[in-house]
Amino acid sequence: MTERFLRYSLTHNRPVRILHAGTMKFQNVTVVAMDGETFSYLSAKNRKIPVTCPLSDVLSAGYARGDKGDTLENSLREESVIRAAVTGADHE
């Protein structure tokens, strides 16, 4: 189940809340890359350099505060961002 939330973050570029096994602390992260055994993420503290973590170190994962997991809403948001980027590029 945790892998499903990580894939959601990767696909929709949305933060998710994870519980690390070593520290037993929750952290909001945005997944930027994922393979079979590890994933890389950006956190609020470290937004520039991705941190790589084994999937086995994540005990729990869920939606970040304020995110309902509505993929239709996320798709509309992504389309509006792309549309704004394209129209902004045409004006330059």
Report how many domains make up the chain.
Answer: 1
Output the domain CATH number for residue 68.
Answer: 2.30.30.100
pTM of the full structure: 0.74
Q: Summarize pLDDT for 55-88 with one digit per residue, the tens.
A: 999 999 988 887 766 666 666 666 777 777 777 7
Give the structural domain span for 71.
2-90
DSSP 13-80: T--EEEEETTT--EEEEEEEEE-SSEEEEEESS-SSS-EEEEGGGEEEEEEPTT----HHHHHHHHHH
- Structure confidence by residue, pLDDT tens digits, 1-60: 889 999 999 998 889 999 999 889 999 999 999 998 999 999 988 889 999 999 999 999
Whole-angstrom Cα distance, residue 68 to residue 79? 18
- Position 92 scores a pLDDT of 46
| pLDDT for the residue numbered 71 | 64
- How far is Cα 68 from Cα 51, in angstroms, rounded to an integer? 25
